[in-house]
Amino acid sequence: MRFPTFVLILVLGSPAAARSQACPPTPAIARSPAWFEYQVEQPAHFLPAGAALPVPDVSLNQRAPYTADFALVQFIVDTSGVPIAKSLKILIRPEGLVADSVAAALIHWRYQPAKAQGCRVPQLVQSALRWR
C-alpha cells in the first residue's frame, strides 16, 4: 500500500522530527552566548599552523606564580573555529600589553571547534599568553 505524499511531508516536517536531529541550544548559564569547557565533550583546540604572535601557551595555564610577561585572555571561538574579536577580554594584563595588539593576533588564530552532542558549538575560551 502506498502512503499519500502529504502524509509523508507531515511526518518529516513535524517539529518532533526536527528537534531529534537538531544540535543542542546554547545553555542559558550566566547569559553567555557560548558553551563553557566543562559543558562540551570536545573543547576547542588551538591549531598553531600559521598563527600570528603572540600565541596561546598551554603550559602557562598550569603554572603559578606568573611571570611579568604572562597575560590571560578570554574570547569566544565560533562554530567554524574562528575567535570572535569583539568578545576579547584581557583578564590579566602585563605592563605594556595593548588590547589592540592582542586583537590583531587573535583574528589570525584558528581552532578546532568545540563539540557537544556531536555538533560544533561556540565555546568561551580562556588562554594564557606569553607576552614579549
Per residue in 92-116, pLDDT tens? 888 777 888 888 888 889 999 999 9
Distance between CA atoms of residues 132 and 116, nearest Å: 35
Interacting residues of 95 by C-beta distance below 8 A, sequence separation 6+: 68
Buried/exposed code over 44-66 (b: 16+ C-beta within 10 A; e: otherwise): bebeeeeeeebebbeebeeeeee
Q: Which of the 8 DSSP states describes residue 4?
A: P
Region 21-35: what's the mean pLDDT?
Answer: 73
Distance between CA atoms of residues 116 and 101, nearest Å: 32
For domain 24-130, is the CATH number 3.30.2420?
Answer: yes
pLDDT value of position 75: 95
Percent of the chain beyond pLDDT 70?
A: 68
pLDDT value of position 64: 58
- Regarding beta strands 119-121 and 83-92, do their DSSP bridges make them parallel or antiparallel, or are they unpaired? unpaired
pLDDT averaged over the chain?
78
Distance of CA 48 to the CA centre of its chain: 16
Q: Where are the domains of the chain?
A: 24-130
Whether pLDDT at 84 is above 60: yes
**9 confidence band (pLDDT: 50, 70, 90):** very low
Whether pLDDT at 80 is above 70: yes
pTM for the predicted model, two decimal places: 0.72
